Amino acid sequence: MAAQSLVIPDLVARVRRGDFPFQPYFPGVEIHRLYGEESGPSAMLLRYQPGASVPRHEHPAYEHIYVLTGEQADERGVYGEGTLVVNAPGSRHDVWSNPGCVVLVIRDQPVVFTGHDRR
């Protein structure tokens, strides 16, 4: 059987309509997995409520973040809609969203959570 491709037309419009079922991930942050699980490569949507955060974590491999709605922030800056952030292997940070946001996350490997927010 041939591998299937994942095609999601109008991703931003679908996120704005609420077409994806989200599950709790961290307080105020929900997840919808597009593919993959807790280990190995994965893609997911993360939805942050205003003021929500994800604890400090390290990236053992590349992680790509694309901000679909709202804005996401870390110690390096604030990233608005349409921003692509590539976190390199070995990088670490806390992540939060003051106004709330939805981001697309694509990871080669799962992150390693190292502690609580440093904000």
CA angle 53, 59, 63 (to 5 degrees): 85
Question: Cα separation of 18 and 13, whole Å?
Answer: 9
Quick one: average pLDDT of 17-22? 96
DSSP string computed for 64-110: EEEEEEEEEEETTEEEETT-EEEEPTT-EEEEEESS-EEEEEEESS-
Q: CATH fold of 29-113, please? A: Jelly Rolls (2.60.120)
pLDDT of residue 41: 92
| Nearest 10 degrees: Cα torsion 90, 114, 87, 102 | 170
Q: For residue 57, is pLDDT > 80?
A: yes
**Which residues, listed in sequence order, are joined to residue 24 by a DSSP beta bridge?**
30
CB 94, CB 75: distance < 8 Å = yes
CB 22, CB 30: distance < 8 Å = yes
Q: What are the structure tokens assigned to 4, written together?
A: 């299937």
Question: Residues 43-52: pLDDT tens digits?
Answer: 999 999 999 9
Q: Where are the domains of the chain?
A: 29-113
